[in-house]
């Protein structure tokens, strides 16, 4: 059971909430006993540059009392805990040699009901404040900031507002806006904010039906359409029947309309006080400046004793409690013969435990993280493997340990289970845990698990996710409950203690399984049952409720509802004045770097293979990417590439089975996995490409410490040359997992599939994306699964043929990233690896011939208006086409305008006025394709009408000088995001493969900086001509309910503006 935060403000640069806190067991980050010293040495060497010095007295400020001042040696940072004496706020100030500065303010916000008030308030406070007068300062920051993170999210018991930027001026601008937003929001004085972000009755005329509208209302309708989300909600509420976790902080669509303005305001007054907050700073900015800025806001408040502590859920004896059974919406008229039309064998069952009442100590938390890895961390982990091997379901669910709330839980189960097999799954979980407790884990499994977590902790590679934000979220999982914020971040002492216990032969993990799981009676089982009529019943119930409400209204009440709707729409349509916009702090073009940064790169040909090297700071870790040229394959085999990629590391090799291989990877490297990469080659003249000259590669990616590169290359060689492609059992399991995952994603992320489908008709690159990652790939996977079950020799032969074609040294690409000493240390092993790599076919057809054959075989689908039927209460609406033809030059200004559309016109029309959770656009200057997309959208045809108004808006809207500068700054910010060491190497390789030059990148940057107001109007004219005009060739793709699509077709039949949707059922 995962208590995932609701990430409410879409379109921030980073949306992931993967927190590499040390109590989270990393799934692929593994290492050997020798690696710790190497990593520690590399980390120590890197920290000597500018590590904070404890001998220097901590910064003092008259407004604060210093509580503690400590070094966190594991991360080379100095952490000082202050208390603001007047307001009572606690402040953790972390000094780090990191330019990517982070700020966050978090409030404890335990809800008492499922109206979603914490979630709605999280949206609402960012809609204007005392100092910052625009309607949505958050959006103004999105438009013109160099932010590296700008978001907000609601947990079941807290609400977090983080920002990050590498630019000091920009960083303090963000901090100022967020502090004023949470402490002095317009929302508590202007009810229209609640109506917009939360919910309201909408009606324009007396004879029209009453409807519900609101961003959060529609967002949560989307959440409640997802079977996985419904299961997570049911499991949490069943596990925590007596405290705040028993209600939904995100909001239940049935309860949201009971929230009134008084309750909304009262919640802010109760919980949004500095004394109830935890304030966090991280980075290389001056501590004195942080404290002074913060004091200017906190000084207005007097300390209180907030009544916000999260109550403890006492452990109960639930052994006699019947299984919780709830329904989820299933596709109507689905095949399978089950009652109601839902597929037989699509039930979900999950067993959940509450693990503790009192807070765990650091060693206990770390031990639990390792146990989680042993049970659920990889496909070979004991409990996960038992569930997968049982063939009682299609995909393992539950996620194992969840420890980010005040009490930890553990969950495991299966989806795709026949109703009669649900008790078998429950019994299987119990039996697998019994076996684990009796025999204990295998020593090699323990070694891999320990090393996995240790490697992750010491590497602390968060990619583009700011390190300081990971640090903050890790600290907050303790701090928010009045515990030591640093206790969850220090790992050296608890790790040494755990290793000592294991060295003494103590049955640490077996004992923990007995105490926390087998002997724990606070255990509840949740079963989810598909119901083909649930969606229509929910829709009918909502319509009936609204009809009854309207019927009960007096004429005066009805007129008041109509007037409220009109007033809200007028307020939403009103543009901010120049005076209001001027209150938002901003950068200027003078703050921008005119030259883009280039990445370290060197190229050589060695034994016929291409080798790229990138000298980047890596703390003694080598990152290696071994790339195979997928254009050597026949087009018919392309849908199998994803399966082959998984086979390499999950089916075993000629030397060892899949379990032994997984543990070898865990014991010898920092992780090995397969992934694919696709890209379009950039024409020499930097014009729009046909999209038919592409790069398509399968990579085996891995990491290892400087002392052991040979271990990594040996494993990569083994998986490439001798992966067991005859392992039918494991291959069938993987295919079932993949099909199940894609089907779930259709309901949760229909916009992504719409985007892929829209690109397919216009180029080979688009058709390839659809064949390997779109709806077509789901259909192909289902066919592959049937082949694996009924005619496996044929599938095996295809996989063997693919491997033989790919293993060709002359087509090999080896991409290496690391510091100079690490790259040098790897040289002998690189040479051995290349010498041993198969030479493969001596001659192959030219790439142009191979790609021409692909284009013929992957005939792009016709650009049709398509409606894909899924069980959902909201829609995902897409429309797109080719905006620039091959050979045309796209100016850099086009990216500025497209970005401004996303954060301006589409945000206003699709999200704010339309009520969708998201509305945005995607533009590819390289292929000239452009698409509009919406996310969790209550509308369909109305959204398409908004898309068709974009060109006219750009032509009519008079852009101010400030707005133009703001748009340019935001576009430059998109180019300059920070990268981790492995990301730098991979991005440099991408540029090489795409034949993209530094001169072309600078030309694009110069074009962005030179954008004019006339460019906006020119782009609008192009949109009107290429995508909006009848016969333009643009098409629409929608994922939605059958009823919504049929209603849209009925209206389209009354006119001739666009052709009706071809309805297609894929679930």
Residues with a known catalytic role? 122, 197
Contact 686, 1003 (CB under 8 A): yes
User: Which residue from 719, 731, 730 is spatially nearest to 624, judged by alpha carbons?
Assistant: 719
Tokens at 445, concatenated? 């499994």
> Are 803 and 599 within 8 A, CB to CB?
no
d(CA 719, CA 650): 9
List, in sequence order, every residue forming a beta bridge with 323; answer none if it has no partner.
none
For residue 282, the number of C-alpha atoms closer than 13 Å in the C-beta half-sphere is: 24
On the CB side of 70, how many CA atoms lie within 13 Å of its CA? 14
Q: Under DSSP, is residue 57 helix (H, G, I), strand (E, B) or coil?
A: coil
Q: Two tokens at 1056?
A: 């001739």
What CA–CA distance (Å, rounded) separates 590 from 898?
Answer: 23
Q: Are 1001 and 637 spatial neighbours (Cβ–Cβ below 8 Å)? A: no
Q: Which residue shows structure tokens 């191979």?
A: 850
Token readout for 1047 is: 């209603």
d(CA 464, CA 626): 22
Contact 73, 125 (CB under 8 A): no
Structure tokens at 171: 């960083």
C-beta neighbour count of 656 within 10 angstroms: 15
Contact 103, 172 (CB under 8 A): no
- Contact by Cβ (8 Å): 596, 770: no
Strands, E, within 797-860: which ranges? Answer: 813-818
Question: Tokens 């403890």 sit at which residue?
Answer: 312
Give CA 390 to chain center in angstroms: 30
Give the N- to C-terminal CA distance of the chain in Å, as an integer. 25
CA angle at residue 612 from 611 to 615, to 5 degrees? Answer: 135
Q: Cβ distance 528 to 347 under 8 Å? A: yes
Edge-first strand listing for the sheet containing 602-606: 602-606, 609-615, 813-818, 621-629, 694-705, 672-680
Q: Are 621 and 39 in contact (CB under 8 A)?
A: yes
Separation CA 138–CA 68 (nearest Å): 34
Report the distance separating Cα 932 and Cα 952, nearest Å. Answer: 15
CA dist., res. 800 & res. 725, Å (int) = 7
Structure tokens at 797: 């032969």
**223: phi then psi, degrees, rounded to nearest 5:** -60, -45
CA distances for 820 relative to 709, 720, 817, 827, 990, angstroms: 14, 27, 9, 11, 21
CA distances from 200 to 195, 356, 553 (A): 5, 41, 15
Residues in the chain: 1067
359 near 562, Cβ under 8 Å? no
Question: Which token pair is 357?
Answer: 């009442």
Q: 782 vs 161, 390, 584, 779, 793, CA distance in Å?
A: 42, 20, 52, 5, 17
What is the β-pairing status of strands 158-165 and 153-154?
Answer: antiparallel
CA distance 946 to 942: 6
User: Tokens standing for 421?
Assistant: 């097999």
Instruction: Work out whether strand 153-154 and strand 211-213 pair parallel, antiparallel, or are unpaired.
Output: unpaired
DSSP class of residue 420? G
């Amino acid at each position: 059971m995962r208590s995932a935060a609701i990430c409410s403000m879409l379109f921030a640069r980073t949306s992931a909430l993967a927190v590499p806190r040390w109590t989270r067991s990393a799934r692929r980050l593994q290492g050997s006993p020798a690696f710790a010293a190497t990593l520690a040495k590399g980390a120590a060497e890197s920290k000597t540059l500018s590590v904070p010095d404890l001998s220097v007295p901590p910064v003092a400020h008259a407004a604060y009392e210093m509580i503690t001042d400590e070094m966190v040696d594991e991360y080379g940072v100095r952490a000082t805990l202050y208390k603001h004496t007047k307001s009572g706020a606690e402040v953790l100030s972390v000094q780090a040699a990191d330019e990517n500065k982070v700020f966050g303010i978090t409030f404890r916000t335990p809800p008492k009901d499922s109206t979603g008030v914490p979630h709605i308030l999280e949206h609402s406070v960012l809609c204007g404040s005392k100092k910052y007068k625009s309607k949505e300062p958050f959006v103004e920051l999105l438009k013109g900031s160099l932010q590296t993170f700008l978001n907000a999210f609601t947990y079941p018991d807290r609400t977090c507002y983080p920002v990050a930027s590498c630019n000091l001026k920009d960083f303090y601008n963000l901090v100022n806006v967020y502090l004023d937003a949470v402490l002095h929001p317009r929302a508590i004085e202007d009810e229209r904010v609640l109506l917009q972000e939360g919910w309201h009755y909408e009606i324009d005329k007396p004879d029209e039906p009453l409807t519900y509208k609101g961003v959060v209302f529609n967002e949560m309708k989307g959440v409640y359409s997802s079977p996985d989300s419904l299961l997570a909600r049911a499991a949490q509420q069943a596990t925590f029947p007596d405290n705040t976790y028993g209600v939904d902080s995100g909001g239940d669509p049935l309860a949201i309309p009971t929230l009134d303005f008084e309750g909304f305001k009262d919640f802010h007054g109760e919980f949004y006080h500095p004394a109830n907050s935890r304030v966090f700073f991280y980075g290389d900015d001056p501590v004195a400046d942080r404290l002074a800025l913060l004091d200017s806001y906190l000084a207005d408040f007097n300390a209180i004793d907030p009544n916000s502590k999260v109550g403890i859920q006492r452990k109960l004896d639930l052994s006699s409690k019947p299984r919780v059974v709830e329904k989820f919406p299933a596709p109507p008229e689905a095949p399978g013969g089950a009652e109601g039309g839902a597929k037989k064998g699509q039930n979900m069952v999950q067993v959940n435990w509450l693990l503790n009442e009192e807070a765990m100590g650091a060693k206990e938390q770390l031990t639990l993280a390792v146990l989680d890895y042993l049970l659920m961390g990889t496909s070979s982990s004991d409990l996960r493997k038992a569930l997968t091997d049982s063939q009682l379901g299609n995909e393992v669910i539950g996620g194992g340990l969840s420890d980010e709330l005040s009490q930890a839980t553990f969950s495991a189960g299966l989806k795709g289970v026949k109703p009669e097999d649900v008790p078998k799954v429950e019994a299987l979980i119990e039996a697998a845990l019994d076996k684990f407790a009796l025999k204990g884990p295998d020593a090699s499994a323990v070694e891999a698990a320990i090393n996995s977590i240790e490697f992750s902790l010491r590497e602390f590679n968060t990619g583009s996710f700011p390190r300081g934000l990971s640090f903050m979220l890790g600290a907050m999982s303790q701090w928010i409950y009045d515990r030591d914020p640093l206790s969850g971040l220090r790992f050296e002492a608890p790790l040494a203690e755990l290793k000592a216990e294991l060295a003494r032969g103590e049955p640490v993990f077996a004992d923990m399984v007995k105490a926390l799981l087998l002997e724990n009676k606070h255990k509840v089982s949740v079963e989810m049952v598909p119901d083909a009529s649930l969606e229509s019943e929910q829709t009918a119930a909502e319509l009936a409720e609204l009809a009854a409400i309207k019927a009960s209204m007096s004429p005066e009440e009805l007129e008041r509802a109509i007037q409220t709707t009109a007033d809200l729409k007028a307020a939403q349509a009103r543009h901010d004045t120049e005076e209001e916009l001027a209150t938002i702090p901003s950068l200027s073009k003078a703050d921008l770097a005119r030259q883009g940064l280039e990445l370290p790169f060197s190229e050589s040909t060695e034994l016929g293979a291409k080798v790229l090297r990138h000298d980047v700071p890596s703390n003694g870790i080598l990152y290696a990417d071994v790339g195979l040229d997928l254009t050597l394959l026949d087009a018919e085999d392309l849908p199998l590439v994803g399966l082959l990629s998984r086979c390499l590391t999950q089916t075993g090799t000629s030397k060892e089975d899949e379990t032994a291989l997984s543990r070898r990877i865990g014991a010898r490297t920092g992780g090995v996995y397969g992934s694919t990469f696709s890209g379009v080659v950039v024409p020499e003249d930097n014009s729009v490409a046909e999209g038919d000259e592409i790069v398509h590669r399968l990579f085996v990616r891995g990491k290892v410490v400087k002392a052991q590169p040979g271990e990594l290359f040996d494993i990569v060689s083994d998986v490439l040359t001798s992966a067991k492609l005859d392992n039918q059992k494991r291959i069938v399991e993987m295919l079932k997992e993949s099909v199940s995952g894609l089907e779930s994603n259709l309901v949760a992320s229909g916009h992504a599939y719409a985007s892929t489908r829209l690109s397919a008709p216009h180029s080979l690159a688009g058709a390839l994306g659809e064949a390997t990652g779109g709806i077509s790939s789901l259909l192909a996977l289902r066919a592959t699964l049937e082949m694996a079950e009924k005619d496996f020799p044929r599938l095996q032969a295809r996989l063997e043929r693919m491997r033989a074609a790919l293993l060709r040294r002359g087509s090999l690409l080896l991409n290496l990233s690391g510091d100079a000493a690490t790259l040098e240390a790897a040289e002998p092993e690189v040479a051995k690896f290349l010498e041993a790599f198969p030479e493969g076919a001596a001659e192959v057809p030219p790439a142009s011939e191979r790609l021409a054959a692909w284009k013929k075989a992957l005939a792009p689908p016709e650009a049709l208006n398509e409606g894909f039927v899924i069980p959902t209460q909201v829609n995902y609406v897409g429309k797109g086409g080719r905006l620039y033809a091959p050979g045309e030059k796209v100016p850099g200004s086009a990216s500025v305008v497209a970005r401004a559309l996303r954060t301006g016109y589409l945000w206003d029309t699709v999200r704010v006025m339309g009520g969708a959770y998201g509305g945005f656009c995607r533009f590819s200057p390289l292929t000239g394709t452009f698409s509009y997309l919406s996310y969790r959208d209550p509308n369909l045809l109305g959204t398409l009408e908004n898309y068709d108004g974009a060109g006219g808006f750009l032509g009519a809207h008079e852009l101010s000088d400030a707005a133009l500068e703001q748009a340019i700054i935001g576009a430059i910010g998109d180019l300059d995001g920070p990268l981790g060491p492995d990301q730098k190497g991979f991005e440099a390789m991408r540029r090489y493969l795409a034949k993209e030059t530094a001169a072309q990148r600078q030309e694009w940057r110069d074009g962005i900086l030179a954008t004019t107001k006339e460019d906006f109007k020119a782009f609008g004219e192009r949109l009107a001509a290429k995508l909006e005009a009848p016969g333009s060739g643009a098409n629409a793709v929608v994922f939605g309910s059958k009823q919504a699509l049929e209603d849209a077709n009925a209206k389209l039949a009354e006119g001739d503006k666009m052709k009706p949707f071809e309805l297609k059922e894929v679930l």
